[in-house]
């Protein structure tokens, strides 16, 4: 029996599914502490250099010793500067090193659950909004953990596959589907044409993708933390002032308040009210005992929901569509369960969104289905056309040169950008690759141009062509020598399809 996995590596939670060759389906693997559930917290706790714990148990240990716990590491993957000092290790870890430890734990636990059998291969889901750097860090971290990474799949595409396999799609009918994926840390909105030809044949054509890299359940948690702090300061106006305590004590206090905020958020997603009972870590005389209603919660969320609606409007505007043009809305991600979010989507589109099964499992299940049908069963006839989520180009002499416009399909090469290096005095030159636009862009990789390349140029003219990997969207480049022959520019290949290096 082979062991192929789909991994939904989330900001707040993780899901791992196993491809079942008999059932032709991806089955969630139980990891959670309570009730054998499959959704477990993406939190790592370093008890010692030889004992690393991930999941719900890590959260519990982190409550007592937050300095040795790492939360929300997915949001840190884009930063090459991020470091967190871990006292039990006596050193600092980068975001990639922490991700390696989490993937290593997942690999070890899965292999233990299956009697020591080795994992054959994995497909990992990534947010559409993830840029070149984050995709490469995720893939590299999993490989460093000993996992055979077969491919990456965008989270909304994974959700669409899960939707299609579950037979909710009508065979033969072309539909415009919007995947509303509001998770713990990111918000993706993807609009695509979807057609189910048979149980194993799909056509997915992405029309537009939009989103916010930092909008999700964590932001609601932060909002609720602020509200609880406000209530504490109102209840004890003379003595309780958070900013008067030293930074270490503040961190411990905020950590405990956050755990109460998360519990209240989850309760108010199901109930009309919940009791908030919090004892301060500063002094147990600072005690808050209040009832929070759904009405209070909805009022707190008003500004958050405005941001959600703005993303929806931008996505439809870019796609030249109106809410009425959308045939189905598929809700994905744990934060989509919040009633006020569902109500906002229903009111905006004028139709009920579809919440199929457990929203927190859909992406992981889709990743597992893709892994199994594409790489194991090899029966998946899925025509997936996915494009870049942001404009991709070069930063050259203070300007952004757009080369791959947003929604350009993966695998489509750009046109040439011809750069004159004669005015660049440096012997060794690096050309930044950026994503964004002329006003706001982020460097996601570099193209090194060593002297051996520069020495082959005609009149210092360098041609650059960019493309994206058709399977995972990572950026590659080609370098060409541009030759002027009697006023006609010709090109000659110097270096082809080399992956962009990190900044």
- Spatial distance between the Cα atoms of 465 and 203, rounded to a whole number of angstroms: 29
Res 97 pLDDT > 90: yes
Q: What is the pLDDT of residue 356?
A: 63
Q: What is the pLDDT of residue 501?
A: 56
Which of the pair, 166 or 52, is modelled with greater confidence?
Answer: 52
At a CB cut-off of 8 Å and minimum separation 6, what does 259 contact? 59, 63
Res 83 pLDDT > 80: yes
H or E segment and range at residue 53:
strand 51-54
Environment class of 209 (CB within 10 Å of its CB; exposed 0-12, middle 13-18, buried 19+): buried
Owner of token pair 């989490």: 102
Q: What pLDDT, in 10s, does the model give residues 317-329?
A: 888 899 999 998 9
- pLDDT-based confidence at residue 367 (cuts at 50, 70, 90): very high
Q: What pLDDT, in 10s, does the model give residues 165-201?
A: 555 566 667 889 898 988 888 888 888 888 877 666 7
Three-state DSSP string of 466-488: EEECCCCCCEEEEEEEEEEECCE
At a CB cut-off of 8 Å and minimum separation 6, what does 301 contact? 220, 223, 338, 340, 341
Q: What is the pLDDT of residue 393?
A: 93
Region 274-288: mean pLDDT is 81
Nearest C-alpha neighbor of 10 from the set 86, 81, 77, 85: 77
CB 500 within 8 A of CB 475: yes
At a CB cut-off of 8 Å and minimum separation 6, what does 136 contact? 474, 502
Classify the phi-psi angles of 55: left when phi > 0, otherwise alpha if psi is within -120 to 50, otherwise beta: left
Q: What is the pLDDT of residue 494?
A: 55
Q: What is the pLDDT of residue 251?
A: 76
Owner of token pair 């070069």: 394
The β-bridge relationship of strands 475-485 and 40-41 is unpaired
Read off φ and ψ for residue 499, nearest 5 degrees.
Answer: -70, 140
Read off φ and ψ for residue 477, nearest 5 degrees.
Answer: -140, 160
- Spatial distance between the Cα atoms of 28 and 18, rounded to a whole number of angstroms: 6
SS3 338: coil
Nearest C-alpha neighbor of 13 from the set 362, 473, 389: 362
Classify the phi-psi angles of 407: left when phi > 0, otherwise alpha if psi is within -120 to 50, otherwise beta: left
Domains and CATH numbers, the chain: 1-168+361-385 (3.30.420.40), 217-302 (3.90.640.10), 392-499 (2.60.34)
CB 332 within 8 A of CB 359: yes
Q: What is the pLDDT of residue 195?
A: 80
- pLDDT-based confidence at residue 421 (cuts at 50, 70, 90): confident
The β-bridge relationship of strands 121-126 and 149-154 is parallel
Q: What pLDDT, in 10s, does the model give residues 118-144?
A: 999 999 998 876 777 788 899 999 999
Q: What is the pLDDT of residue 383?
A: 67
Which of the pair, 377 or 15, is modelled with greater confidence?
Answer: 15
Q: What pLDDT, in 10s, does the model give residues 387-407?
A: 787 889 999 988 999 999 887
The secondary structure of residue 412, as a DSSP letter, is P
The total number of residues written for the chain in this structure: 503
Nearest C-alpha neighbor of 98 from the set 119, 75, 116, 114: 75
Q: What is the pLDDT of residue 34?
A: 52
- Spatial distance between the Cα atoms of 357 and 197, rounded to a whole number of angstroms: 23
Instruction: Report how far apart, in Å, the C-alpha atoms of 88 and of each of 55, 251, 443 are.
Output: 18, 18, 34
Nearest C-alpha neighbor of 358 from the set 24, 27, 6: 27
Q: What is the mean pLDDT of the chain?
A: 84
Nearest C-alpha neighbor of 404 from the set 389, 393, 419: 393
CB 489 within 8 A of CB 480: no
Region 360-381: mean pLDDT is 82
Q: What is the pLDDT of residue 71?
A: 87
H or E segment and range at residue 189:
strand 187-198
Q: What pLDDT, in 10s, does the model give residues 284-305?
A: 778 888 888 999 999 999 999 9
Full strand arrangement of the beta sheet holding 392-396: 399-404, 392-396, 429-436, 441-449
Q: What pLDDT, in 10s, does the model give residues 202-232?
A: 777 778 877 787 788 889 999 988 888 888 8
Return the bridge partners of 429, or none.
Answer: 449
- pLDDT-based confidence at residue 497 (cuts at 50, 70, 90): very low
Return the bridge partners of 401, or none.
Answer: 394
Q: What is the pLDDT of residue 339?
A: 92
- Spatial distance between the Cα atoms of 501 and 503, rounded to a whole number of angstroms: 7
Which of the pair, 102 or 280, is modelled with greater confidence?
Answer: 102
- Indicate the range of 106-115, 156-165, 268-277, 399-408 predicted with least confidence: 156-165
Query: Helices 339-349 and 302-319 meet at what angle, rounded to 10?
Result: 40
Q: How far is CA 317 from the centre of its chain?
A: 23
Q: What pLDDT, in 10s, does the model give residues 459-496?
A: 788 889 999 887 667 888 988 887 765 544 555 555 55
CB-CB neighbours of 120 under 10 Å: 17
């Amino acid at each position: 029996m082979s062991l192929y996995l789909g991994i939904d590596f989330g900001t707040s939670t993780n899901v791992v599914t196993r491809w079942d060759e008999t059932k032709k389906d991806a089955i969630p693997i139980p990891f959670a502490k309570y009730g054998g559930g499959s959704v477990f917290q993406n939190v790592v706790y370093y008890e010692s250099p030889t004992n690393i714990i991930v999941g719900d148990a890590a959260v519990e240990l982190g409550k007592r010793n937050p300095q040795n716990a790492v939360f929300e590491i997915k949001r840190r993957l884009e930063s090459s500067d991020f470091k967190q000092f871990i006292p039990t290790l006596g050193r600092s870890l980068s975001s990639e090193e922490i991700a390696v430890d989490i993937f290593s734990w997942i690999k070890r636990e899965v292999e233990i659950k299956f009697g020591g059998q080795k994992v054959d291969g994995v497909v990992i889901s990534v947010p559409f909004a993830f840029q070149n750097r984050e995709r490469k860090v995720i893939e590299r971290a999993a490989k460093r953990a000993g996992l055979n990474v077969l491919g990456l799949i965008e989270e909304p595409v994974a959700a669409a596959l899960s939707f299609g396999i579950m037979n909710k799609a009508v065979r033969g009918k072309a539909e415009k589907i919007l995947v509303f994926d509001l998770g713990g840390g990111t918000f993706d909105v993807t609009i695509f044409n979807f057609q189910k030809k048979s149980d194993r044949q799909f056509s997915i054509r992405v029309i537009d993708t939009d989103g916010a890299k930092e909008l999700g359940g964590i932001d609601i948690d932060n909002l609720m933390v602020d509200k609880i702090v406000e209530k504490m300061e109102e209840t004890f106006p003379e003595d309780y002032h958070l900013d008067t305590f030293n930074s270490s004590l503040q961190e411990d206090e905020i950590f405990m308040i956050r755990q109460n905020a998360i519990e209240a958020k989850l309760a108010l997603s199901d109930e009309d009210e919940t009791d908030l009972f919090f004892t301060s870590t500063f002094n147990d005389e600072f005690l808050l005992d209040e009832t929070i209603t759904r009405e209070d919660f909805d009022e707190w969320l008003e500004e958050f929901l405005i941001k959600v609606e703005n993303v929806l409007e931008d996505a439809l505007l870019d796609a030249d569509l109106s809410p009425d043009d959308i045939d189905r809305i598929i809700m994905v991600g744990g934060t989509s369960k919040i009633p006020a979010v569902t109500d906002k989507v229903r009111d905006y589109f004028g139709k009920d969104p579809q919440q199929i099964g457990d929203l927190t499992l859909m992406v992981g299940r889709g990743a597992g289905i893709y892994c199994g049908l594409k790489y194991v069963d090899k029966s998946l006839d899925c025509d997936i056309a996915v494009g870049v989520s942001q404009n991709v180009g070069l930063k050259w002499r203070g300007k952004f040169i757009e080369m791959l416009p947003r929604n350009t399909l993966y695998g489509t090469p750009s046109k040439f950008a011809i750069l004159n290096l004669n005015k660049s005095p440096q012997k060794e030159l690096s050309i930044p690759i950026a994503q964004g636009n002329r006003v706001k862009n982020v460097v996601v990789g570099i193209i090194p141009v060593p002297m051996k390349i520069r020495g082959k140029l005609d009149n210092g003219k360098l041609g650059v062509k960019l493309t994206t990997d058709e399977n995972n969207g990572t950026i590659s480049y080609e370098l060409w020598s541009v030759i002027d022959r009697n006023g006609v520019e010709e090109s000659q290949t110097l270096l082809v399809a080399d992956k962009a290096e990190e900044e």
